[in-house]
Structure 1
């Protein structure tokens, strides 16, 4: 799909429409407590794992900050303390960024059948999938694992320079968070749309190409998810809504209807 050429006003509208897809996804899952419960279970399990990792990072952050700022060992106390305080804050920021970027991939792997169900029900409500392909479970899980590992690798690749740039005065506190949010939002959108694209037997490269054709829309959805996932417990509680919103995003970038076709409850 060719990339769309949009003016600033149209791009902003696309961005806001994309952000609104998360809200639409939330509305859809809230109408069906059963689907909401199914979506929360794998997110809760992943959340417990990540919470334990975060606690460990907080406990050992001083030691880690000292290790990465070995060059300041002989500095006088005020400067050494300031540098290590900054390093500790940067390490916590890096941990939070990696947590947000990888949480989705891990949760989708844990709850693949549950999120397949949520995504399928949402698509049925909006007209179904005319080109649906039945992919065997093992093949689907294998693809999901490979795609998730690739996206986790990309997340780490982007997170390292952002971590280093965080030490730069002013830039580290202004430009870096914005760039991190945009990159994180894009990666989250790519991850979350994996289920509906697999339903059409489309691979990761097809997904990236289709999403790039509606980049402002994709970024609007992804950045909204990214920001919500930064809120404590946001990733756990909003994961079902993000999956439902990703189904709508996929339909939009593929040129399919996103207006309700059936009035039956989800």
Structure 2
């Protein structure tokens, strides 16, 4: 049975519907993974590692998040103030869990991200993965890890800029949580769009340009990845879905003319 091309049909010009198109990439990525055995096998391996890493991160935050909030805002004695304190604790716990997942998982799973992205692009058509060569693999792995660390640093810098909001009593913690979540969503889109674009040798300036011009589309996709992290069991597939969805986003933007043809040569540039 043949399936239609997984490449999303995106409008060439930004608009309000971009948010829903970006969110829809999550479902498109799920569908592609489960009907493509090689993608499913690689995603299952990623899921196993993710499950262990998320479990460890959850335990650490469960232990230390109250201490961190207590350092910023001493737990009140009055019941109504204490209820608000616990609400802020829950929000902070959720944000830190998402941030922690996006710091630890991309680094741990960096060796598997490019193979996932290449398999996805092969399913999109017009692309043939280059033959395996140990030297090229090691060079690509080092580049992937280096770029991942750089992008994680970019995420942390943004959150650090927002962090002083926590010094504003009560509303500051909530503002940091909301703005930090939005920043993380947009960063998620940039992180997983940058992966296939880096593989095709686009400069990061091109990724930033796309994020600026199609920010609603990217925000919708990033929000979908962010929400996926909170769905039990399915969240173990968080990174594979994000990698596949980011690659589909790249191919959709390429087909819509929002991204120029890749500067890379050979099979990667087809």
Relative to the length of structure 1, the TM-score reads: 0.73
Give the superposition deviation at 1:180. 3.2
For residues 102 and 126 of structure 2, what CA distance do their matches in structure 1 show?
25
Paired residues for 1:17-28 under 5 Å: 17-28=21-32
Contact 1:65/1:91 (8 A) holds in 2: yes
- Structure 1 216/60 Cα, relative in aligned 2: closer, same or farther at 3 Å? closer
Is 1:67 the counterpart of 2:101 in the alignment?
no
Q: Bigger shift: 105-114 or 215-224?
A: 105-114
- Structure 1 62/120 Cα, relative in aligned 2: closer, same or farther at 3 Å? closer
Aligned to 2:147: 147
- Structure 1 256/138 Cα, relative in aligned 2: closer, same or farther at 3 Å? farther
Contact 2:33/2:40 (8 A) holds in 1: yes
Paired residues for 1:119-134 under 5 Å: 119-129=117-127
Is 1:31 the counterpart of 2:35 in the alignment?
yes
Relative to the length of structure 2, the TM-score reads: 0.72
For residues 141 and 173 of structure 2, what CA distance do their matches in structure 1 show?
38
Aligned to 1:53: 57
For residues 77 and 181 of structure 1, what CA distance do their matches in structure 2 show?
29
Give the superposition deviation at 1:251. 1.4
Structure 2 residue runs without a partner (length 5+) = 1-10, 258-270
- Structure 1 255/210 Cα, relative in aligned 2: closer, same or farther at 3 Å? farther
Give the superposition deviation at 1:153. 2.4
For residues 83 and 184 of structure 2, what CA distance do their matches in structure 1 show?
26
| Match 2:99 to one of 98, 101, 112 | 101
Aligned to 2:44: 40
Give the superposition deviation at 1:220. 1.4
Q: Bigger shift: 111-120 or 186-195?
A: 111-120
Is 1:247 the counterpart of 2:247 in the alignment?
yes
- Structure 1 49/123 Cα, relative in aligned 2: closer, same or farther at 3 Å? closer
Contact 1:61/1:92 (8 A) holds in 2: no
